Amino acid sequence: MKTKAAKSKFIFVTGGVVSSLGKGIAASSVGAILESRGLKVNVVKMDPYINVDPGTMNPLEHGEVFVTDDGAETDLDLGHYERFTTAKLTRDNNFTTGRIYNEVITKERRGDYLGATVQVIPHITNEIKDRVLRNATADVVIVEVGGTTGDIEGLPFLEAIRQLKTDLGAQNTLFIHLTLVPHIKTAGEIKTKPTQHSVKELLSIGIQPDILLCRTEKELSTDVKRKIALFCNVAENCVISATDVGNIYEVPLNFHREGLDDRIIEKLNIWTRQPDLSAWENLVKKTQSSTHKIVLGMVGKYMALKESYKSLNEAISHAALANDCKVEIRYIDPEEIAKPGADVKGAFQGVSALIVPGGFGERGTEGKMVGIRYARENKIPYLGICLGMQLACIEFARNACGIEGAQSAEFQENSKYAIIHYMHGQTSDMAKGGTMRLGAYPCKLSSGSLSAKLYGKSEISERHRHRLEFNNSFREQLESKGLKITGTSPDGNLVEIVELKDHPFFIGVQFHPEFLSRPMTSHPLFKGLISAALSVKK
């Protein structure tokens, strides 16, 4: 193991006190500031839940499922890693307790352990270490440990990273612990005790944090930092204020101002150039200087948790920056606008653009099509993503082509009018995990189409996550009424993009463009949508 990982340094990011402190943003920001110094980084997420991957988990419980080019269904934090750094992530960059145990049990059944008693230590921990070391492809590998220190599920991961410090050497490993330093408003005091207890919990496992990132409402004073350093056995300049910010893209700048990158390269004994964070500085300035504003409607199923559409929300913010405007997202409940007598016009009052995102299941689909029809008939710029594209085709078939029974096979498998049907070899009752069209696929764009104009090229690659496809039996009928198929698989068989003729912006895509949007380079479809909305508003 030592030889394999010799060229890489490892940073392990853990979290304590409570969940949702922002370990993913913290790990991503560490990657960003190290890249600003010329270092190549890779980022890994270890998740303690027993699901093999998040692909079958409810977005309302766990947030979105992020998809990599190679088709891995991963934790949403991998989206942060790709947006903050230039790392190209794969299925090796995310693994769960379920995947680890599945692999160890498979090896045991195969006889790989030669009859040994299979135990958490060393077999589970060795499997974890092996998967971490597979990612030793960069100058620095940042490894985020999911969950909270003290959780029973996360103990094998913490034990594994404790062992890695011995395996790799102290100068090749660094432990960063993110913790909460709450401000008690009634007392007017900042409390350090939760951080002390969290570090004590980590110490009981055998891990001494090298750097503490203290999540706090306001910057910590020198006295508070000194107190935390004393009780947690870390250097005072290694107590870093992770102050609340209005925009997540400010975090790398704040960490740099606190000297985090200096501490990291000192402790890991790395030589680098001086940091260049000008791109991040310009990005933050743009977020603060935008003057125009539009309202974008989003008709989705998982509105109760913003994390359900994390990449989508970020892609919208990137497009807003590219168009020098602010975007207010108005979440519209599809079940409400589908009710008899619903005030549809009122629900969309002031909306300058509409998005119907991806999703699974029939609930809310009729309401989504109410929104799609409203956008189509009232010339509101529209972007349909995955299910949003499929429902746009069904709505058009019903209301523009007169196919009253138009439906998706997902909701009515034996329908004679399944505008959307299962891919060859797929059925509604097959296993759900990892059985869809997943990952990056090429798409050929029609010359002269709006999509080709936006992308500025004739062939693209986008990431997919779906099980059903457009039914080519209805292709000619829908195209004759004005719904144009402008993007297909290279062989022309699979429909990837549809556009509406005589509309300022009406595009449906079978893929998920939000996965490729970046803060410095907005995705062309989102950039075009916001641009069209601004033009229509004028």
Q: How many C-beta atoms lie closer than 10 Å to residue 44's C-beta?
A: 25
The DSSP result for 249-296, as a single string, is: GGHHHHHHHTTHHHHHHHHHT--------HHHHHHHHHHHH--EEEEE
Name the residue among 292, 354, 352, 288 with its Cα closest to residue 326. Answer: 292
Q: From CA 516, how far away is CA 83, in angstroms rounded?
A: 8
The two tokens of residue 360 are 């699974």
Q: Which of 127, 462, 496, 514 is catalytic?
A: 514
- Does the annotation count 514 as an active-site position? yes
β partners of residue 187 = none
CB 506 within 8 A of CB 381: yes
Strands 140-145 and 41-47: what pairing? parallel
Q: How far apart are the first and last CA of the chain?
A: 62
Contacts of 394 (CB under 8 A, 6+ apart): 369, 406, 407, 408, 419, 420
Q: Which of 214, 238, 325, 386 is catalytic?
A: 386
- Does the annotation count 336 as an active-site position? no
Q: From CA 129, how far away is CA 135, in angstroms rounded?
A: 10
CB 215 within 8 A of CB 242: yes
Name the residue among 513, 401, 409, 425 with its Cα closest to residue 461. Answer: 513
- Does the annotation count 123 as an active-site position? no
Orientation of helix 155-168 relative to helix 193-205, angle to 10°:
70
In one letter, which amino acid is 518?
A: R
Q: What distances in angstroms separate CA 327 from CA 314, 352, 376, 381, 414, one per listed residue? A: 11, 10, 21, 14, 41
Q: How many C-beta atoms lie closer than 10 Å to residue 289's C-beta?
A: 8
Q: From CA 319, how far away is CA 182, in angstroms rounded?
A: 34
Q: What distances in angstroms separate CA 462 from CA 86, 437, 448, 527, one per listed residue? A: 17, 12, 20, 16
Q: Which of 123, 318, 512, 523 is catalytic?
A: 512
Q: What are phi and psi of 54, to 5 degrees?
A: -80, 5
- Residues that are catalytic: 386, 512, 514
